[in-house]
Protein backbone atom coordinates (compact mmCIF):
# COMPACT_ATOMS: atom_id res chain seq x y z
CA UNK A 1 0.00 0.00 0.00
CA UNK A 2 1.99 2.93 -1.17
CA UNK A 3 2.04 5.71 -3.66
CA UNK A 4 2.82 4.69 -7.20
CA UNK A 5 5.91 5.90 -9.02
CA UNK A 6 3.96 7.96 -11.52
CA UNK A 7 2.37 9.93 -8.71
CA UNK A 8 5.71 10.27 -6.98
CA UNK A 9 7.06 12.07 -10.01
CA UNK A 10 3.75 13.70 -10.86
CA UNK A 11 3.57 12.36 -14.40
CA UNK A 12 0.85 10.53 -16.28
CA UNK A 13 1.05 6.84 -17.01
CA UNK A 14 1.86 7.44 -20.64
CA UNK A 15 4.56 10.03 -19.99
CA UNK A 16 7.58 9.89 -22.29
CA UNK A 17 11.05 9.21 -20.96
CA UNK A 18 11.88 12.86 -21.54
CA UNK A 19 8.89 13.98 -19.47
CA UNK A 20 9.82 11.58 -16.70
CA UNK A 21 13.38 12.87 -16.58
CA UNK A 22 12.18 16.42 -16.52
CA UNK A 23 9.70 15.68 -13.72
CA UNK A 24 12.45 13.91 -11.84
CA UNK A 25 14.75 16.93 -12.02
CA UNK A 26 11.98 19.14 -10.75
CA UNK A 27 11.01 16.82 -7.88
CA UNK A 28 14.60 16.11 -6.97
CA UNK A 29 15.40 19.82 -6.74
CA UNK A 30 12.36 20.39 -4.60
CA UNK A 31 12.80 17.48 -2.25
CA UNK A 32 16.53 17.25 -2.01
CA UNK A 33 17.25 16.66 1.70
CA UNK A 34 19.74 19.53 1.61
CA UNK A 35 17.16 22.06 0.56
CA UNK A 36 13.88 20.74 1.91
CA UNK A 37 12.77 21.39 5.49
CA UNK A 38 10.37 18.46 5.54
CA UNK A 39 11.09 15.81 8.16
CA UNK A 40 10.64 13.03 5.67
CA UNK A 41 12.62 14.73 2.91
CA UNK A 42 15.24 12.04 2.80
CA UNK A 43 12.74 9.24 2.46
CA UNK A 44 10.85 11.22 -0.13
CA UNK A 45 14.01 11.86 -2.08
CA UNK A 46 14.86 8.16 -2.13
CA UNK A 47 11.39 7.41 -3.42
CA UNK A 48 11.83 9.95 -6.18
CA UNK A 49 15.13 8.40 -7.18
CA UNK A 50 13.65 4.93 -7.17
CA UNK A 51 10.72 6.10 -9.30
CA UNK A 52 13.09 7.58 -11.85
CA UNK A 53 15.27 4.50 -11.88
CA UNK A 54 12.32 2.24 -12.65
CA UNK A 55 10.41 4.46 -15.05
CA UNK A 56 13.37 5.38 -17.21
CA UNK A 57 14.37 1.75 -17.68
CA UNK A 58 12.17 0.39 -20.42
CA UNK A 59 12.19 -3.16 -19.18
CA UNK A 60 11.58 -2.25 -15.56
CA UNK A 61 8.84 0.15 -16.49
CA UNK A 62 7.07 -2.52 -18.48
CA UNK A 63 7.22 -4.89 -15.54
CA UNK A 64 6.10 -2.16 -13.21
CA UNK A 65 3.07 -1.41 -15.36
CA UNK A 66 2.23 -5.04 -15.60
CA UNK A 67 2.56 -5.93 -11.94
CA UNK A 68 1.34 -2.75 -10.30
CA UNK A 69 3.18 -0.91 -7.59
CA UNK A 70 2.87 -3.23 -4.66
CA UNK A 71 3.72 -6.42 -6.46
CA UNK A 72 6.58 -4.82 -8.32
CA UNK A 73 8.08 -3.42 -5.13
CA UNK A 74 7.74 -6.78 -3.48
CA UNK A 75 9.42 -8.55 -6.39
CA UNK A 76 12.08 -5.86 -6.58
CA UNK A 77 12.99 -6.42 -2.95
CA UNK A 78 13.62 -10.04 -3.74
CA UNK A 79 15.74 -9.04 -6.67
CA UNK A 80 13.33 -10.66 -9.06
CA UNK A 81 12.94 -7.72 -11.42
CA UNK A 82 15.20 -6.77 -14.23
CA UNK A 83 15.99 -10.38 -15.04
CA UNK A 84 13.53 -12.69 -16.72
CA UNK A 85 9.89 -11.87 -17.09
CA UNK A 86 7.69 -11.79 -14.03
CA UNK A 87 6.46 -15.28 -14.66
CA UNK A 88 9.94 -16.56 -15.38
CA UNK A 89 12.19 -18.68 -13.29
CA UNK A 90 13.37 -15.85 -11.04
CA UNK A 91 9.98 -14.25 -10.79
CA UNK A 92 7.80 -14.54 -7.77
CA UNK A 93 4.78 -15.71 -9.68
CA UNK A 94 6.02 -18.73 -11.50
CA UNK A 95 3.55 -21.49 -10.98
CA UNK A 96 1.08 -19.28 -9.23
CA UNK A 97 -1.62 -20.35 -11.61
CA UNK A 98 -0.75 -17.76 -14.19
CA UNK A 99 -1.64 -14.63 -12.25
CA UNK A 100 1.68 -13.12 -13.22
CA UNK A 101 1.27 -13.82 -16.88
CA UNK A 102 -2.06 -12.15 -17.42
CA UNK A 103 -1.78 -9.30 -19.86
CA UNK A 104 -4.26 -6.92 -18.34
CA UNK A 105 -7.02 -6.57 -15.87
CA UNK A 106 -9.65 -7.15 -18.51
CA UNK A 107 -8.39 -10.63 -18.85
CA UNK A 108 -9.24 -11.57 -15.33
CA UNK A 109 -10.65 -14.88 -16.36
CA UNK A 110 -7.38 -15.85 -17.93
CA UNK A 111 -5.54 -15.09 -14.72
CA UNK A 112 -7.12 -18.28 -13.61
CA UNK A 113 -6.77 -20.43 -16.66
CA UNK A 114 -3.75 -18.87 -18.28
CA UNK A 115 -0.11 -19.66 -17.72
CA UNK A 116 0.44 -22.36 -15.17
CA UNK A 117 -3.00 -23.72 -15.68
CA UNK A 118 -6.16 -24.39 -13.81
CA UNK A 119 -6.88 -27.26 -11.51
CA UNK A 120 -3.91 -28.83 -9.90
CA UNK A 121 -1.68 -26.07 -11.17
CA UNK A 122 -1.55 -24.34 -7.86
CA UNK A 123 -0.39 -26.74 -5.29
CA UNK A 124 1.52 -28.61 -7.92
CA UNK A 125 0.21 -31.86 -6.54
CA UNK A 126 -2.80 -34.05 -6.24
CA UNK A 127 -4.64 -35.05 -3.17
CA UNK A 128 -8.00 -33.94 -2.00
CA UNK A 129 -6.83 -31.35 0.46
CA UNK A 130 -9.10 -28.29 0.54
CA UNK A 131 -7.37 -25.36 -1.09
CA UNK A 132 -8.30 -21.73 -1.13
CA UNK A 133 -9.09 -20.30 -4.54
CA UNK A 134 -6.80 -17.88 -6.27
CA UNK A 135 -6.85 -14.17 -5.69
CA UNK A 136 -7.98 -12.28 -8.77
CA UNK A 137 -7.10 -8.75 -9.75
CA UNK A 138 -8.94 -6.02 -11.52
CA UNK A 139 -8.62 -2.28 -11.90
CA UNK A 140 -10.86 0.72 -11.30
CA UNK A 141 -10.41 4.35 -12.26
CA UNK A 142 -11.91 7.14 -10.18
CA UNK A 143 -11.52 10.89 -10.22
CA UNK A 144 -10.03 13.14 -7.56
CA UNK A 145 -13.38 14.12 -6.11
CA UNK A 146 -14.29 10.48 -5.60
CA UNK A 147 -10.93 9.88 -3.97
CA UNK A 148 -11.59 12.86 -1.75
CA UNK A 149 -15.10 12.02 -0.60
CA UNK A 150 -15.02 8.29 -0.95
CA UNK A 151 -17.47 6.59 -3.26
CA UNK A 152 -19.41 3.48 -3.99
CA UNK A 153 -18.54 2.18 -7.45
CA UNK A 154 -19.68 -0.78 -9.48
CA UNK A 155 -17.16 -3.14 -10.99
CA UNK A 156 -18.20 -5.63 -13.63
CA UNK A 157 -15.95 -8.53 -14.40
CA UNK A 158 -15.97 -12.01 -15.77
CA UNK A 159 -14.56 -14.42 -13.27
CA UNK A 160 -14.38 -18.14 -12.71
CA UNK A 161 -17.17 -19.53 -10.63
CA UNK A 162 -18.02 -22.98 -9.38
CA UNK A 163 -20.11 -24.92 -11.88
CA UNK A 164 -23.62 -25.32 -10.48
CA UNK A 165 -24.37 -28.42 -12.50
CA UNK A 166 -21.65 -30.58 -10.99
CA UNK A 167 -20.96 -28.58 -7.84
CA UNK A 168 -17.38 -28.09 -8.96
CA UNK A 169 -16.63 -31.80 -9.25
CA UNK A 170 -16.23 -31.69 -13.03
CA UNK A 171 -18.27 -34.83 -13.65
CA UNK A 172 -21.85 -35.97 -13.13
CA UNK A 173 -22.37 -37.54 -9.70
CA UNK A 174 -23.20 -40.92 -11.24
CA UNK A 175 -20.16 -41.07 -13.54
CA UNK A 176 -18.01 -44.19 -13.29
CA UNK A 177 -14.66 -43.66 -11.68
CA UNK A 178 -11.33 -45.41 -12.08
CA UNK A 179 -7.88 -44.85 -10.64
CA UNK A 180 -5.68 -42.91 -13.05
CA UNK A 181 -3.37 -45.45 -14.69
CA UNK A 182 -0.66 -42.91 -15.47
CA UNK A 183 0.02 -41.88 -11.87
CA UNK A 184 -1.62 -44.78 -10.09
CA UNK A 185 -3.84 -42.37 -8.23
CA UNK A 186 -1.05 -40.27 -6.81
CA UNK A 187 -1.86 -37.23 -8.94
CA UNK A 188 1.82 -36.66 -9.63
CA UNK A 189 4.26 -38.09 -12.09
CA UNK A 190 8.03 -38.12 -12.10
CA UNK A 191 10.06 -37.31 -15.12
CA UNK A 192 13.76 -37.80 -15.55
CA UNK A 193 15.45 -35.21 -17.68
CA UNK A 194 18.94 -35.28 -19.09
CA UNK A 195 20.60 -31.91 -18.48
CA UNK A 196 24.22 -30.72 -18.84
CA UNK A 197 24.49 -31.11 -15.09
CA UNK A 198 23.33 -34.68 -15.12
CA UNK A 199 20.01 -36.40 -14.68
CA UNK A 200 17.37 -34.38 -12.91
CA UNK A 201 14.25 -35.91 -11.56
CA UNK A 202 11.21 -33.68 -11.63
CA UNK A 203 7.86 -34.16 -10.04
CA UNK A 204 4.92 -32.62 -11.80
CA UNK A 205 1.16 -32.76 -11.83
CA UNK A 206 -0.14 -35.74 -13.71
CA UNK A 207 -1.29 -34.50 -17.13
CA UNK A 208 -3.81 -37.29 -17.54
CA UNK A 209 -5.94 -36.70 -14.44
CA UNK A 210 -4.71 -33.16 -13.74
CA UNK A 211 -3.71 -34.15 -10.25
CA UNK A 212 -7.01 -35.69 -9.26
CA UNK A 213 -5.71 -39.23 -9.19
CA UNK A 214 -9.00 -40.40 -10.60
CA UNK A 215 -10.58 -40.51 -14.01
CA UNK A 216 -14.27 -40.25 -14.64
CA UNK A 217 -16.07 -41.87 -17.49
CA UNK A 218 -17.88 -38.64 -18.28
CA UNK A 219 -17.14 -34.93 -18.01
CA UNK A 220 -19.75 -32.46 -16.83
CA UNK A 221 -21.48 -31.12 -19.93
CA UNK A 222 -21.57 -27.55 -18.67
CA UNK A 223 -17.98 -27.03 -17.55
CA UNK A 224 -16.22 -29.66 -19.65
CA UNK A 225 -14.67 -31.20 -16.55
CA UNK A 226 -13.08 -28.07 -15.14
CA UNK A 227 -15.65 -27.72 -12.38
CA UNK A 228 -15.54 -24.03 -13.13
CA UNK A 229 -17.52 -21.80 -15.48
CA UNK A 230 -17.33 -18.17 -16.52
CA UNK A 231 -19.53 -15.89 -14.53
CA UNK A 232 -20.24 -12.23 -15.13
CA UNK A 233 -20.44 -10.45 -11.82
CA UNK A 234 -21.16 -6.86 -10.86
CA UNK A 235 -19.85 -5.94 -7.47
CA UNK A 236 -20.27 -2.83 -5.41
CA UNK A 237 -16.97 -1.47 -4.15
CA UNK A 238 -16.62 0.95 -1.27
CA UNK A 239 -13.83 3.41 -1.99
CA UNK A 240 -12.51 4.93 1.23
CA UNK A 241 -11.67 8.65 1.22
CA UNK A 242 -7.99 9.36 0.68
CA UNK A 243 -7.16 6.42 -1.57
CA UNK A 244 -4.21 6.90 -3.90
CA UNK A 245 -3.31 5.57 -7.30
CA UNK A 246 -1.75 2.15 -7.13
CA UNK A 247 -3.42 1.13 -3.90
CA UNK A 248 -5.54 -1.99 -3.96
CA UNK A 249 -8.77 -2.76 -2.20
CA UNK A 250 -9.30 -6.33 -1.13
CA UNK A 251 -12.75 -7.87 -1.42
CA UNK A 252 -12.64 -11.06 0.55
CA UNK A 253 -14.04 -14.24 -0.95
CA UNK A 254 -14.80 -12.64 -4.32
CA UNK A 255 -11.98 -14.39 -6.15
CA UNK A 256 -11.72 -17.79 -7.79
CA UNK A 257 -13.51 -20.78 -6.26
CA UNK A 258 -11.55 -23.00 -3.93
CA UNK A 259 -10.85 -26.65 -4.51
CA UNK A 260 -12.10 -29.61 -2.59
CA UNK A 261 -14.36 -27.45 -0.49
CA UNK A 262 -11.71 -24.80 0.17
CA UNK A 263 -12.80 -21.16 0.47
CA UNK A 264 -12.82 -18.71 -2.43
CA UNK A 265 -9.85 -16.46 -3.05
CA UNK A 266 -10.05 -12.69 -2.78
CA UNK A 267 -10.52 -10.02 -5.40
CA UNK A 268 -7.97 -7.22 -5.41
CA UNK A 269 -9.03 -3.99 -7.04
CA UNK A 270 -6.22 -1.67 -7.95
CA UNK A 271 -7.41 1.91 -7.94
CA UNK A 272 -6.20 4.53 -10.36
CA UNK A 273 -7.00 8.10 -9.37
CA UNK A 274 -7.19 10.57 -12.23
CA UNK A 275 -6.10 13.80 -10.68
CA UNK A 276 -7.06 16.12 -13.55
CA UNK A 277 -5.39 19.28 -14.76
CA UNK A 278 -5.82 21.62 -11.86
CA UNK A 279 -4.04 19.70 -9.13
CA UNK A 280 -0.87 17.80 -8.66
CA UNK A 281 -1.05 15.19 -5.97
CA UNK A 282 1.84 14.44 -3.70
CA UNK A 283 0.71 11.78 -1.26
CA UNK A 284 -2.00 13.45 0.80
CA UNK A 285 -0.87 16.91 -0.26
CA UNK A 286 -2.11 18.77 -3.30
CA UNK A 287 -0.42 21.48 -5.31
CA UNK A 288 -1.98 24.19 -7.41
CA UNK A 289 -0.79 27.23 -9.29
CA UNK A 290 -2.49 30.58 -8.86
CA UNK A 291 -1.87 33.73 -10.84
CA UNK A 292 -1.58 37.11 -9.15
CA UNK A 293 -1.12 40.49 -10.75
CA UNK A 294 1.99 42.60 -10.42
CA UNK A 295 0.29 45.07 -8.02
CA UNK A 296 -1.17 42.20 -5.93
CA UNK A 297 2.33 40.77 -5.52
CA UNK A 298 3.81 44.15 -4.70
CA UNK A 299 1.16 45.45 -2.30
CA UNK A 300 -0.24 42.18 -1.05
CA UNK A 301 -3.87 41.04 -1.37
CA UNK A 302 -6.33 38.37 -0.36
CA UNK A 303 -7.14 35.93 -3.18
CA UNK A 304 -9.72 33.18 -3.57
CA UNK A 305 -8.26 29.72 -3.99
CA UNK A 306 -10.45 26.88 -5.21
CA UNK A 307 -9.85 23.73 -3.16
CA UNK A 308 -11.24 20.21 -3.43
CA UNK A 309 -14.04 21.22 -1.09
CA UNK A 310 -14.85 24.79 -1.93
CA UNK A 311 -12.92 27.99 -2.17
CA UNK A 312 -10.95 29.60 0.62
CA UNK A 313 -9.30 32.96 1.07
CA UNK A 314 -5.54 33.19 1.07
CA UNK A 315 -3.40 36.15 2.00
CA UNK A 316 -0.70 37.05 -0.46
CA UNK A 317 1.71 39.19 1.54
CA UNK A 318 3.26 42.36 0.15
CA UNK A 319 6.48 41.68 -1.70
CA UNK A 320 5.52 38.17 -2.83
CA UNK A 321 7.85 36.81 -5.51
CA UNK A 322 6.75 34.88 -8.55
CA UNK A 323 7.14 31.19 -7.81
CA UNK A 324 6.68 31.51 -4.06
CA UNK A 325 4.67 28.73 -2.47
CA UNK A 326 2.18 29.04 0.36
CA UNK A 327 0.79 26.23 2.43
CA UNK A 328 -2.89 25.94 3.31
CA UNK A 329 -2.88 23.50 6.17
CA UNK A 330 -5.43 20.71 6.11
CA UNK A 331 -6.77 21.63 2.67
CA UNK A 332 -5.34 18.62 0.87
CA UNK A 333 -6.64 15.07 0.60
CA UNK A 334 -7.98 13.08 3.55
CA UNK A 335 -5.54 10.62 5.07
CA UNK A 336 -6.61 7.09 4.25
CA UNK A 337 -8.27 5.43 7.25
CA UNK A 338 -6.79 8.04 9.53
CA UNK A 339 -7.88 11.37 10.82
CA UNK A 340 -6.82 14.62 9.31
CA UNK A 341 -5.96 15.86 5.87
CA UNK A 342 -2.87 16.75 3.92
CA UNK A 343 -2.06 20.30 2.92
CA UNK A 344 -2.66 22.38 -0.17
CA UNK A 345 0.44 24.08 -1.55
CA UNK A 346 -0.32 27.13 -3.61
CA UNK A 347 2.41 28.37 -5.87
CA UNK A 348 1.77 31.88 -7.07
CA UNK A 349 2.97 33.16 -10.40
CA UNK A 350 3.09 36.87 -11.06
CA UNK A 351 1.48 37.68 -14.37
CA UNK A 352 3.40 40.21 -16.41
CA UNK A 353 0.94 42.26 -18.47
CA UNK A 354 1.30 41.73 -22.20
CA UNK A 355 0.01 45.14 -23.09
CA UNK A 356 -0.40 48.37 -21.13
CA UNK A 357 -2.62 51.36 -21.63
CA UNK A 358 -1.14 54.84 -21.72
CA UNK A 359 -1.69 55.52 -18.05
CA UNK A 360 -0.18 52.22 -16.94
CA UNK A 361 2.80 52.71 -19.20
CA UNK A 362 3.49 56.13 -17.73
CA UNK A 363 3.16 54.84 -14.21
CA UNK A 364 5.55 52.01 -14.86
CA UNK A 365 8.01 54.25 -16.58
CA UNK A 366 7.91 56.53 -13.58
CA UNK A 367 8.54 53.48 -11.39
CA UNK A 368 11.57 52.56 -13.50
CA UNK A 369 12.88 56.12 -13.37
CA UNK A 370 12.50 56.16 -9.62
CA UNK A 371 14.99 53.29 -9.42
CA UNK A 372 12.70 50.38 -10.29
CA UNK A 373 15.52 48.44 -11.95
CA UNK A 374 17.51 48.38 -8.71
CA UNK A 375 14.82 46.89 -6.51
CA UNK A 376 16.25 44.89 -3.65
CA UNK A 377 14.72 41.46 -4.16
CA UNK A 378 15.72 40.35 -0.67
CA UNK A 379 17.67 37.40 0.66
CA UNK A 380 17.12 33.93 -0.68
CA UNK A 381 15.16 35.08 -3.69
CA UNK A 382 17.15 33.16 -6.29
CA UNK A 383 17.10 30.01 -4.18
CA UNK A 384 13.35 30.27 -3.95
CA UNK A 385 13.08 30.90 -7.64
CA UNK A 386 15.30 27.96 -8.46
CA UNK A 387 13.40 25.53 -6.28
CA UNK A 388 10.14 26.56 -7.87
CA UNK A 389 11.03 25.40 -11.37
Binding residues for Zn(2+): 163, 166, 180, 183, 206, 209, 220, 223
Rounded-to-integer distance, Cα 250 and Cα 271, Å: 11
CB of residue 193 to Zn ion, shortest distance in Å: 19
The 8-class DSSP code of residue 12 comes to: -
Rounded-to-integer distance, Cα 332 and Cα 288, Å: 11
Nearer to Zn ion, 220 or 269 (CB): 220
Contact yes or no for 305/288 (Cβ under 8 A): yes
Burial of 42 (0-12, 13-18, 19+ CB in 10 A): middle
Instruction: Give yes or no for residue 344 binding Zn ion (CB under 5 A).
Output: no
Instruction: List, as residue ranges, the binding site.
Output: 163, 166, 180, 183, 206, 209, 220, 223
Task: For residue 164, report the phi and psi dihedrals to the nearest 5 degrees.
Answer: -65, -35
∠ Cα 375 294 318 (to 5°) = 70
CB of residue 179 to Zn ion, shortest distance in Å: 8
Q: For residue 347, which of 329, 326, 331, 320 has the smallest C-alpha distance? A: 326
Nearer to Zn ion, 52 or 264 (CB): 264
CB of residue 266 to Zn ion, shortest distance in Å: 23
Going residue by residue from 136 to 175, which x/- string records binding to Zn ion, judged by CB under 5 A?
---------------------------x-xx---------
CB of residue 108 to Zn ion, shortest distance in Å: 20
CB of residue 14 to Zn ion, shortest distance in Å: 42
Tally of CB atoms within 10 A around 374: 7
Rounded-to-integer distance, Cα 73 and Cα 185, Å: 41
Contacts of 304 (CB under 8 A, 6+ apart): 311, 312, 313, 314
Q: With contacts defined by CB under 5 A, how many residues of the chain interact with Zn ion?
A: 12
Instruction: Give yes or no for residue 182 binding Zn ion (CB under 5 A).
Output: yes
Contact yes or no for 58/82 (Cβ under 8 A): no
Nearer to Zn ion, 175 or 312 (CB): 175
Task: For residue 179, report the phi and psi dihedrals to the nearest 5 degrees.
Answer: -70, 135
Rounded-to-integer distance, Cα 188 and Cα 220, Å: 23
| Interface positions, 201-230, toward Zn ion (CB under 5 A) | 206, 208-209, 220, 222-223
Instruction: Give yes or no for residue 180 binding Zn ion (CB under 5 A).
Output: yes
Nearer to Zn ion, 61 or 208 (CB): 208
Rounded-to-integer distance, Cα 117 and Cα 259, Å: 14
Nearer to Zn ion, 79 or 173 (CB): 173
CB of residue 262 to Zn ion, shortest distance in Å: 17
Nearer to Zn ion, 223 or 237 (CB): 223
CB of residue 111 to Zn ion, shortest distance in Å: 20
Nearer to Zn ion, 26 or 208 (CB): 208
Rounded-to-integer distance, Cα 110 and Cα 102, Å: 7
Instruction: Give yes or no for residue 183 binding Zn ion (CB under 5 A).
Output: yes
Chain contacts with Zn ion (rule: CB under 5 A): 163, 165-166, 180, 182-183, 206, 208-209, 220, 222-223
Amino acid sequence: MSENFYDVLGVSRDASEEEIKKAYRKQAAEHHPDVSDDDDAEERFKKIQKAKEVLTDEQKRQQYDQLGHDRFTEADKRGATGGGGPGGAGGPFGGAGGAGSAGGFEDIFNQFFGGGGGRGGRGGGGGNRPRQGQDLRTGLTIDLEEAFKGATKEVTLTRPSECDTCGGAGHPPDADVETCPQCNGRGQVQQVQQTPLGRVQQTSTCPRCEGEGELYSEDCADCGGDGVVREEATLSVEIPPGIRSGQSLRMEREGAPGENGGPKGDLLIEVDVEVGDRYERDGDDLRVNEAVSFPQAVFGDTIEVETVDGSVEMDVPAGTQSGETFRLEGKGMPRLRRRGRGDLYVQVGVVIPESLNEEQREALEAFAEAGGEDVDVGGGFFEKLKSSF
